[in-house]
Structure 1
Amino acid sequence: MKQILPILLSFLLLTGCSGNSTDGYQQITQEEAKEMMDTQEVIILDVREQDEYDSGHIPGAVLLPVGSIDEDTATEVIPEKDSTVLVYCRSGNRSKTASSALAELGYTNIYEFGGISTWPYETES
C-alpha cells in the first residue's frame, strides 16, 4: 500500500491538476512551462500585439496576435498540428482565447501558462 500511494498521487497530479483540457488545451503553471522550455522542443507563442512583443518577450517566443489566428497564420508559425505549443499573453486572458482557437484548428498539444506580467524568468526586447 505504501508503494501504491505515491503512484496514485502522481497520477492524480498529472490528470486532475493539469488544468482545463475540456477546451482542447491544458493550463499549466509558469514553472511547468519554464521546465518544458528547458527540457523539450517547444514553440513559445506570444499572442499579444506587436508593440507589446517589442517591449519585452520570452526568449525564443514567436508572435501571433490572438486576433489574427486562423488556419493560414497558425500554419505559418506552427506547421505541425502535434507540436508542443506554450501560449502566453500579458495577463492570461488572450492566451486562453488563443489556446481554444488553436485547439479548434486541430492542434493537439497546446499548453496555456498565463501572462508575462507575472513571468519570473528572463525576458528580452
Structure 2
Amino acid sequence: MNKWTIILLIVIIGLFFYNNSKKQAGYRTINPTDAQAMLSQNEEVILLDVRSKEEYQEKHIEGSLLIPLNVLAEQVEIKLPNKNQKIIVYCRSGNRSKTAANTLLSMGYKNVYDLGGINSWPFDTN
C-alpha cells in the first residue's frame, strides 16, 4: 500500500467512528423499574410508543403517546417540540425503539431513553 492509500484508510475509519459516536450521543437504555420510577416522579417525561396503531390499541403502557415509527420523523417535532424533554421510547420487542431513539437523537433530541419492548414490561398495561 502506498502512503496515500493508508492516509485515506485512516480518514475513513476515523469518520466511521466519529459518525457512530455522534449517533449514540445522548442514547441511553433504561430498564422497566427505572423507567417506572422516572415516570412516577416526573410528569414532564414523555413515554413514547412507536408501534402501530393496532398494536397500541391491543395493549399499551398507561400514559404513553403513540407515534408509529413509520411516521416518527414527520410528526415528532410537531407533537414533541421540546428537544430537551426526557423521552422514554418503547415498542414490542426493542428493535423499533432502538431505531426510534437513534432517529430522535439525529433530529436533535437530547434526553432519549430506550426502554426496549413492552413484552418485558412487568407492570400494568391498558
TM-score scaled by length of structure 2: 0.78
Alignment of 1:82-97 (within 5 A): 82-97=84-99
What stretches of structure 2 of length at least 5 have no aligned partner? 1-20
Per-residue deviation, 1:75: 1.3
User: Aligned match of 1:63 in 66, 75, 98?
Assistant: 66
The aligned residue for residue 14 of structure 2 is none
Inter-partner Cα distance in structure 2 for 1:73 and 1:22: 20
Q: Which amino acid aligns with 1:47?
A: V
Q: Which residue of 1 is the match for residue 15 of structure 2? A: none
Secondary structure, counterpart of 1:69 in structure 2: helix
Between the two proteins, what is the percent identity of the paired residues?
41
Gaps of 5+ in 1: 1-19
- Aligned partners of 1:36 and 1:116: how far apart in 2? 17
2:99 is paired with a residue whose SS is helix
- RMSD after superposition: 1.6
Find the residue that maps to 1:74 and give its secondary structure. helix
Aligned to 2:105: 103
Counterparts of 1:42 and 1:21, CA distance in 2: 23
Q: Distance in 2 between matches of 1:52 and 1:45?
A: 13
User: Which SS does the other structure have where 2:124 is aligned?
Assistant: coil
What's the counterpart of residue 56 of structure 2? 53
1:28 deviates by: 1.1
SS of the counterpart of 1:81? coil
- Where does 1:103-122 land on structure 2 (aligned, <5 Å)? 103-122=105-124
How many residue pairs are counted as aligned between the two chains?
Answer: 104
CA distance in 2, matches of 1:105, 1:49: 21
From the two aligned structures, give the one with the greater helix fraction.
2
Q: Is the 8 A contact 1:42 1:85 kept in 2?
A: yes
Please identify runs of 4+ aligned residues in structure 1 that moved more than 3 A. Answer: none
* SS across alignment from 1:107: coil
Structure 1 residue aligned with 2:16:
none
Residues 69-80 of structure 1 mapped to structure 2, 5 A cutoff: 69-70=72-73, 72-80=74-82
